A and B are shown apart, each in its own frame.
Chain A
């Protein structure tokens, strides 16, 4: 073994037991935070829930040939905010009507099928905003085949505002937990710096600069913070994946498990790990400084 002891991982060398305890605690906390982060990212607060239930209904004029209606549905599906656009012919619309209002069959006897064909447009959860809904509705309204576009203009803004509030609330709670992590980590770092004060004094008396010590401690805290956050987020993601597989009804609010592996989800998890590394380093620096100055 030719390992050369250096100031890297100095806390680990001098205070292994307490560091292991702290690392286990932080890992578990990052599992929880990772689960929450990925749930928030996938669900977009309440966006996915709302997007799952909201649809723009484009009522077509009577007598529109199915081929033209389907062509219009394809064009609508090509609009960037649109997740899906499906044409329902008058017969399908009638059946849906009867499912919703059973016992109204006699209406048809009077003068044929009274229901027009329509296109049901679903918006992507991340594009469910007033502007994007307006974009889709205004693109379809001037089309001659279209009789009417039902986009919920009266109640949609309130619904979207409620969705935004839910999203902000979700991120706010996440931020509070992240701040809680930072404060606890700072206290732990301070307590460890106090416990190791004699060792650090020994080293500084022997020519090791205080700044160098603080740098190496913060760097080690950053590396371990990154690894713990990455591992915790991966574990939290695994738990979320299993939850979505076991309880499919959650997909309506959170999203499909496959979305966990989307590049943007992975990038967000990596960004979170980097943030955790920075917070850990800052907690180490501030905790060490507080220990030196004797402040709480």
Chain B
């Protein structure tokens, strides 16, 4: 359970938002929408333990991320995956390097496993055989999907995705819908931040919870299949 209590952020000399409460339950896919410059990326940074909020606190499984000990925050970051909004890529990197880097962060992925899983994950996100491609030569959609696949290599318990749906493009929405639901069914938590939610997803998710400038949706996931909630 990730909880944000009375979160407040100052940016560019003004208060961006203040007094916001969030609660992201485990084993679920969450969708946070908000207008441009509303602080979605900032919110994800705060939830990941990378940026201390100017007010309030974030609790993970009841422990404070910013007021607790540093080892807890580090362990939390180690259990998180993060697909950032795509910016200028590192020209020397190949898609395979993204997976190598992810494996190094995980520290527990065997070399042989990495190669097998890299191929399978790339195929899953619609990029079969892309391991040797240079990231700088990929489209935004390809870059986003390869980063997502690289993060999944480590099997993060919590996955934060910033603008992934919009960047991936409409043809991959179905694949991502299935992927995020599958991750939630496996007991993982997915938090997506987007400007808008695809219409079909919004219909399936039902009414969102308004929190400040944001709308928080919980994507439907058959409860009986969710590990930890079943039985």
Chain A interface (Cβ < 8 Å from any Cβ of B): 1-7, 10, 13-14, 195, 198-199, 202-203, 205-209
- A203 lies within 8 A of B112 (CB): no
Determine which of A6, A7, A198, A206 lies in contact with B82 in the assembled complex, contact meaning CB atoms within 8 Å: A206
Assuming the A-B contacts A198-B90, A202-B105, A203-B101, are A5 and B80 also in contact, with contact meaning beta carbons closer than 8 angstroms in the complex? no
A-B contact pairs, 30 of them (CB 8 A): A1-B111, A2-B111, A3-B111, A4-B108, A4-B109, A4-B111, A5-B100, A5-B103, A5-B109, A5-B114, A7-B104, A10-B104, A13-B100, A13-B104, A195-B92, A198-B90, A199-B101, A203-B101, A203-B105, A206-B77, A206-B80, A206-B81, A206-B82, A206-B154, A207-B74, A207-B75, A207-B78, A208-B105, A208-B107, A209-B74
Determine which of B79, B111, B112 lies in contact with A207 in the assembled complex, contact meaning CB atoms within 8 Å: B79
CB contacts (< 8 Å) of A3 on chain B: these are 110-111
CB contacts (< 8 Å) of B76 on chain A: these are 207
Cα-based distance from A45 to B92 in the complex (angstroms): 49
Which secondary structure dominates chain A's binding surface?
loop
Q: Does B127 contact A (CB under 8 A)?
A: no
List the A residue with the shortest CB-CB distance to B105: A206
Beyond known contacts A5-B114, A203-B104, A207-B80: 4 more, CB 8 A cutoff: A2-B111, A7-B107, A198-B90, A205-B82
- A14 lies within 8 A of B111 (CB): no
CB contacts (< 8 Å) of B154 on chain A: these are 206
CB contacts (< 8 Å) of A2 on chain B: these are 110-112
Q: Does B176 contact A (CB under 8 A)?
A: no
- B110 lies within 8 A of A208 (CB): no
CB contacts (< 8 Å) of A203 on chain B: these are 101, 104-105
Interface residues of B, count at CB 8 A: 27
Q: Does B50 contact A (CB under 8 A)?
A: yes
CB contacts (< 8 Å) of A10 on chain B: these are 104
Cα-based distance from A4 to B77 in the complex (angstroms): 21
* A to B contact number (C-beta, < 8 Å): 62
A67 to chain B, nearest CB (A): 79
CB contacts (< 8 Å) of A6 on chain B: these are 104, 107
Cα-based distance from A1 to B109 in the complex (angstroms): 12
- B78 lies within 8 A of A208 (CB): yes
- B77 lies within 8 A of A205 (CB): yes
List the B residue with the shortest CB-CB distance to A6: B107
Type the 1/0 row for B53-90, where 1 means its CB is closer than 8 Å to any CB of A: 00000000000000000000011111111100000001
- B112 lies within 8 A of A1 (CB): yes
Cα-based distance from A84 to B16 in the complex (angstroms): 90
List the A residue with the shortest CB-CB distance to B108: A4
- A14 lies within 8 A of B101 (CB): yes
CB contacts (< 8 Å) of B108 on chain A: these are 4
Cα-based distance from A208 to B81 in the complex (angstroms): 13
- B78 lies within 8 A of A4 (CB): no
Cα-based distance from A10 to B104 in the complex (angstroms): 8
List the A residue with the shortest CB-CB distance to B79: A207
A51 to chain B, nearest CB (A): 57
List the A residue with the shortest CB-CB distance to B104: A5
Cα-based distance from A14 to B100 in the complex (angstroms): 8
List the B residue with the shortest CB-CB distance to A197: B90
- B78 lies within 8 A of A206 (CB): yes
